[in-house]
Amino acid sequence: MTPGGAVLGAAGVRVRRGRRVLLDDVTFAVRGGELVALRGGNGSGKTSLLRVLAGATAAAAGTVSRPAACAFVPDRVRLAGGPRCGEWLARLRALRGLAPIDWAGPLEASGLAAAVLDQRCGELSKGMTQRVALLEALTSGAPALVLDEPFSGLDHDGRVWLGGALAAQAGAGAAVLLSDHADQGAASWCRLTRALAIGDGTVVADGDAPPEAPAVTIRAVAADGAPLTRVVAGAEVDATLRALLDAGAHILEVTR
């Protein structure tokens, strides 16, 4: 993959849900090496647009350009329940025309144990299912990745892993488009090239992507008296504080 040229794009695209027009005259492109966020609130049409861009559904009007190989991970991942996880991953690689790989390293990097390969897909938790689907996309070698709110179902470590993996994909020349909540949560985990926003029934530039949120340091004393220090992204402060308090810790200081 070589950074620079337009890889994924829309020209005058109209998106419908049933008879309702969600978005119209959507025109933009994502170049190789870019990591772009599409922002909007619930019901704004983010998911419907990404499905059109990935080829999962057809546009009502306009033209979509994408490479033959495009990795798409929806917001609600559902894997066929019968196959074991390792079999599912192997089948997907075969469908993509790729050689088999040893999954132990990628699984460990994602925070999953190698034993997951022997579990049936239908037995995986929601978070594990999402990591497996993301892992398949990240190892696909596809020049375009379309990911619908990929950070939303992951824990702290999973978000750290995914942020680094997406940066590596863009650095290798892939065009990465991900949807994000209007509160810009993805910017806490990866440095975006730019952002787009859904407004007035279409997609508009959202200005330069904001700088990454500063890390927050939490100092506390555990229930057993041991000192604790946690350094987390801004988006994870509330959840981390809640977990510490639930564990009986005493919070001393929260600083940026």
Read off the pTM: 0.77
19-53 core/surface letters (b: 16 or more CB in 10 A; e: else): eeebbbebebebbbbbbbbbbbeeebbbbbbbbbb
153-175 core/surface letters (b: 16 or more CB in 10 A; e: else): bbebebbbbbbebbbebbeebbb
Each residue of 78-116: pLDDT tens digit? 777 678 999 999 999 999 999 999 998 899 989 999 999
Each residue of 4-29: pLDDT tens digit? 678 999 999 999 988 889 999 999 99
What count of other Cβ atoms lies within 10 Å of the Cβ of residue 234? 15
Each residue of 161-174: pLDDT tens digit? 999 999 999 999 99
**How many angstroms separate the CA atoms of 113 and 137, rounded?**
18
DSSP classification of residue 57: S
Q: Name the pLDDT band for 121 (thresholds 50, 70, 90).
A: confident
Q: Find all residues with CB under 8 Å of 256, minimum gap 6, and list them.
A: 214, 215, 216, 217, 234
Burial class (CB in 10 A: 0-12, 13-18, 19+), 224: exposed
Residue 191, beta-bridge partner list: none
* Among the ranges given (59-63, 121-125, 192-196), the one the predictor scored with the smallest mean pLDDT: 121-125
